Structure 1
């Protein structure tokens, strides 16, 4: 520990700091503003991030009739679209999305897929290469309202419709489209919709989406959004009202976006009564029980039913159909408005789905509404299918199936809950806050994954969230930069899509909330963004600007580092120098030096000379001694006392008092090894083992992005310093965070080869249960 005179303190600190604080940033200054990267504000989108006074967006209303062929697994349909031009531009043609064409035999997606051959190849990979399924749209006709054929040009997943006369601002145009296509097997052609076949009972479960030609977005910031659909970049769509008539086998149950318009024609009296009971229930009510669904599985009704659904101010529409569906429902109130939360699932989903799905739907609507805007749609639905998860307005498809014996692992349970939260949460991002998924997946997936994390933590304390916690992002962020791409990368070009579009932006927002901005400022700004852009088309700039505008926090450095680069967090505590101020009193200071001298270990040479060297020349010839052989520099002299008295006389009373205080000064040298500037979070552990956290804003790096020093003053000695003790910043190397350095604590397991713990403890426990206990177990929702 070093000591210094107070008189020299200011000079010492001021003299050493500028050498590290000068602007020595290599490359782009990480605190440079984003003005050159963001679009120029205008009357449509303001510098504050809010919609401008002349903001506009287009509208598309649909009247659709669609028929499900359960024998051929095919769709036929026709629609009337009314497109309203609310832009200031004259439109000679319009563009439509034909997303089913991703399954066309000659699709651009298949043509541009990259693959490799290995010495050993699984059958599934080879079968995928040889797949001959043709699922693309077959457009039968595109006509005007009076039946005249309109000229069209199909460019892979986009179709241009040339209008008879240009559509002027404020005008609407209605036209008709007829089409058909083959439905894909989701287990073979793993797309966002399709069917699952159950060989045990020879039934199908259909999840149907992207089933109709849809209008593309025309916007102020980019004109037509007609990037090809290649698989990752999802759907960018205008808002409108829908009326959809779905004709399905008479014994099917149909779940859909919107509200059912003809319940009396398609539901039994018992089902209608149960649905009414669900509106006042505290827990889900079975509309179709498991016993009723199992009974339907073994029969085949003749004829069809047409279910009519309507939805207002939505950007898309999807539905599901099967005779296998169990159906339960429960109504909640959100901001005083009723929301009917429902689930549809086959018996294969129980007991997990009957116990959890609708409760998760309700919890998600409540929690997202708290952090964003109140949910205003009348229903929210979770449908159980074979794989993954996918979202549409008011309805989503979710995986997560227990074993055939009804048991499941913890991973399966929480995975199912998480995917339902995530997909229901998509009602907010992007179904209501309608960002451009085709260009920026992170604006819906990343923001949604972040609120998913908040919702998971409100479901169960210490919920095992896979994304959101900064520590969960470390492995990705420390991978080779050539294997990463910035978050601000087009959806189809991003590497490691799950980490890039979901995990990293969700982690960034969590760090903003917990570490950079604080919960109060962040929550207000995030809610402001949701309120400003509900039912509109926001861009990244609108989000970045709103978050700063509503919080008064300059975040350009954060957006630049986290979203525009592949830099990572690795802050290192390079060194610590300790100082205590000198009292100036010779009696105190020389006594301290005597103690240090006495405690100092003699050199190895001095130790050996004490025994090996019998005498020195001075020992043999005392006449060679002089004043300095007897002089003790640590003895307090009268001259020392006089100088000290003169020194104190020149100090003010405040300075004299400060000399008597016990204070400890530490100079920390910090290095930014990963390139990502972040707040510096330091944990100090004192001699009495108490701890203190000090958080230094990221602006400490503003004049030198790579290396800075910081002086900390304490009233008791510090025995250790640790950076980021709670892993708040996704720091990729914890080994350089402590001073003194701490060895990494870890363990290794000893085990018999091939011996592993059971992945499904519930199954092991069930097998060990007595026969009586087994008989007593019943699937939830089974009766």
Structure 2
């Protein structure tokens, strides 16, 4: 109501200042030992950097967004006597950036196996006994040559640990392409000889019928040049995975003819590498919704199950992808089938494993798990983009590539379901949504674990627990020593990698989905984020802005406390005033740095209960909040968060109870 009485400016100031002072004093008194600072979570200035024409303030790629393209033609051969891969990769690189490039950068991840690599010296990629003698590995780069395109002349290169700089004779202008080849070879890391090896993404699994080769990070790959950090040339140390450009792949793999090969892409020449019987079965599998054995267990040791010639060259093609992996073995049982995903697209599901893994609670269920995972995630989030999905038994605990995953040959039961579901789930993060895993592993591991946790509930009436089987207690995710989620992967202590990058991200996204914005709003926003950034390179800021914009909330307080910092939540009952025949007044304090919505249950003397919910905005300017009960009756108990929905680190102060 407007007051027409004239008041001097000084008196107006006094009227304002006196009650404001009292409020401040009351708040300060109520804080006590509180660490909460409202302005840290609810700032006036934006937490996120401003949007621009490349990355908009609404979290979408802008009209000026660009990314470069890397197309690969790879011709390699496997020497199974020396365990050596050798060949040539020919790269056509398209510069879509706004500036000319005088040099290009490539990743040489195999160089981490050199004795003097940064990964080994930093003890992030090592045997548990660092003094143990290991064979020197890494790439042997034999030649780098220009092929064709806009650039002519001699090319020079320099190698720095796991990176290679290629210096061009003339700058590659915006819009131009250059094609160059790298002739190389490398020895397979002999990880399988030492069970204590901590990181294995390219490996050999010995079986009674022959070695299984898991072949990944097996060719020089282009580093990403983006509009955020320029050339992304962080060294490969082990935990920080990969950040790759998209492009088209043509891959030709020559192996002794006794080997069966599978790869990420579509097999182009089945008639040249399969026996007539296997070709018939392979074609049948492409039309069958029940698994067809292209090579069953009883034929594994039969010479007639492979063509009679010295070598076979398996030819593959895969478009609009960021990587390519393959496998080879004489020991494979091979089954395949075809099934539809959202939109009616048909996918070929392919499983390869040794007779040792041919168990009913293990690899015999591979096809079942492939079908469920791809259909569930396609329906829920984004249609599976590839023509096939390959699941290979190996001695890798689990590793993902476009259209192909390596899972443990030894896993059974829940562990086996969990790894297949998780590794295939990586199709969506980071194969489709191509984030920077080397810096932000949580944007693929954590997002993937989050969607895994939703999927496992829908599989076979909850047959498995999934990752819940190995989860740490929630309290440990918010202990004082836990590093923030945003921490670079290689800077996370080893015992925190899974709890922080996987479990905590899945936990806080579930919290956001269920308790803060609701499943319907969250799911719609998450789908939009995936669709907007499919085959592109989002940053954490793009994700935060995308979610804010889609759900219509400023979630600064959430991103700041849960992702950018390791803020902890502690809501406590500070005071209960409960005079007779008057509605009780309850005061709750926010004692730690995080804030969350408040849920309180009141229990009255007559046994009735009252459920109250308050939005996070109650903490915008104060760390203390008071409310009154709805009944004029004695309150005998006050409980904060009775269903334990929030990560309160001190539940000892969550309950007030009148002693009888």
Does TM, normalized by the shorter one, top 0.5?
Answer: yes
Aligned to 2:339: 332
Aligned to 2:369: 360
Aligned to 1:566: 566
The question of 1:552 aligning with 2:552 is answered: yes
Aligned to 2:533: 533
Aligned to 1:713: 630
Q: Indicate conservation of the 8 Å contact 2:202/2:217, yes or no.
A: no
What are the residue-to-residue correspondences of 1:697-776 with 2, within 5 Å?
Answer: 697-704=615-622, 706-714=623-631, 718-740=635-657
The question of 1:519 aligning with 2:519 is answered: yes
1:710 to partner: Cα distance: 2.7
* 1:695 aligned to which of 613, 624, 627: 613
- Cα 1:333–1:580 change in 2 (3 A) is farther
1:364 to partner: Cα distance: 1.4
1:329 to partner: Cα distance: 1.8
Aligned to 2:399: 390
Aligned to 1:136: 138
Q: What whole-Å deviation, never above 9, does each CA across 1:127-165 have from its counterpart, x for those lacking one?
A: x53132222011010001179652001111110001121
What are the residue-to-residue correspondences of 1:567-716 with 2, within 5 Å?
Answer: 567-579=567-579, 581=581, 665-685=583-603, 689=607, 691=609, 693-704=611-622, 706-714=623-631
- Cα 1:214–1:672 change in 2 (3 A) is same
Unpaired runs of at least 5, structure 2: 1-19
Aligned to 2:161: 156
Aligned to 2:57: 47
Q: What whole-Å deviation, never above 9, does each CA across 1:665-694 have from its counterpart, x for those lacking one?
A: 232222333422111122344556565543
CA distance in 2, matches of 1:299, 1:273: 14
Corresponding residue SS for 1:435: coil
Q: Indicate conservation of the 8 Å contact 2:273/2:307, yes or no.
A: no
- Cα 1:253–1:516 change in 2 (3 A) is same
The question of 1:427 aligning with 2:411 is answered: no
Q: Indicate conservation of the 8 Å contact 1:470/1:510, yes or no.
A: no
CA distance in 2, matches of 1:20, 1:346: 71
Corresponding residue SS for 1:558: helix
Aligned to 2:67: 57
CA distance in 1, matches of 2:104, 2:431: 22
CA distance in 1, matches of 2:44, 2:313: 54
Q: What whole-Å deviation, never above 9, does each CA across 1:360-395 have from its counterpart, x for those lacking one?
A: 122111222233211121111211111311111010
- Cα 1:75–1:149 change in 2 (3 A) is farther
- Cα 1:539–1:114 change in 2 (3 A) is closer
Q: Indicate conservation of the 8 Å contact 1:34/1:556, yes or no.
A: no
Return 192-201 or 76-85, whichever deviates more. Answer: 192-201
CA distance in 2, matches of 1:683, 1:400: 50
What are the residue-to-residue correspondences of 1:161-180 with 2, within 5 Å?
Answer: 161-180=166-185
- Cα 1:689–1:268 change in 2 (3 A) is farther
Q: What whole-Å deviation, never above 9, does each CA across 1:211-263 have from its counterpart, x for those lacking one?
A: 00000000111110001111111110000000000111212111110100001
Return 35-44 or 87-96, whichever deviates more. Answer: 35-44
The question of 1:92 aligning with 2:107 is answered: no
CA distance in 2, matches of 1:33, 1:511: 22
CA distance in 2, matches of 1:278, 1:99: 36
Aligned to 2:455: 455
Q: Indicate conservation of the 8 Å contact 2:293/2:336, yes or no.
A: yes
Q: How many residues align?
A: 626
CA distance in 2, matches of 1:39, 1:314: 29
- Cα 1:266–1:114 change in 2 (3 A) is closer
Over aligned residue pairs, what C-alpha RMSD do you find?
2.9
CA distance in 2, matches of 1:289, 1:716: 74
CA distance in 2, matches of 1:34, 1:55: 28
Aligned to 1:195: 203
Q: Indicate conservation of the 8 Å contact 2:42/2:620, yes or no.
A: no
- Cα 1:349–1:470 change in 2 (3 A) is closer
Q: Indicate conservation of the 8 Å contact 1:468/1:503, yes or no.
A: no
Unpaired runs of at least 5, structure 1: 1-13, 117-123, 403-411, 583-664, 743-783
Aligned to 2:351: 343
CA distance in 2, matches of 1:671, 1:686: 22
The question of 1:290 aligning with 2:297 is answered: yes
- Cα 1:280–1:320 change in 2 (3 A) is same
Larger Cα Rg: Structure 1 or Structure 2? 1
Aligned to 2:215: 208
The question of 1:477 aligning with 2:477 is answered: yes
Q: Indicate conservation of the 8 Å contact 1:192/1:390, yes or no.
A: no
CA distance in 1, matches of 2:125, 2:204: 27
The question of 1:321 aligning with 2:328 is answered: yes
CA distance in 1, matches of 2:385, 2:523: 20
* 1:252 aligned to which of 238, 259, 267: 259
CA distance in 2, matches of 1:559, 1:498: 20
1:291 to partner: Cα distance: 1.5
User: What TM-score comes out, normalization by structure 1 length?
Assistant: 0.75
- Cα 1:70–1:738 change in 2 (3 A) is same
Aligned to 2:4: none
CA distance in 1, matches of 2:45, 2:293: 55
- Cα 1:573–1:296 change in 2 (3 A) is farther
- Cα 1:250–1:681 change in 2 (3 A) is same
CA distance in 1, matches of 2:94, 2:73: 15
CA distance in 1, matches of 2:124, 2:128: 13
Q: Indicate conservation of the 8 Å contact 1:473/1:504, yes or no.
A: no
Q: What whole-Å deviation, never above 9, does each CA across 1:189-219 have from its counterpart, x for those lacking one?
A: 4434333343644x21100000000000001
Q: Indicate conservation of the 8 Å contact 2:597/2:616, yes or no.
A: yes
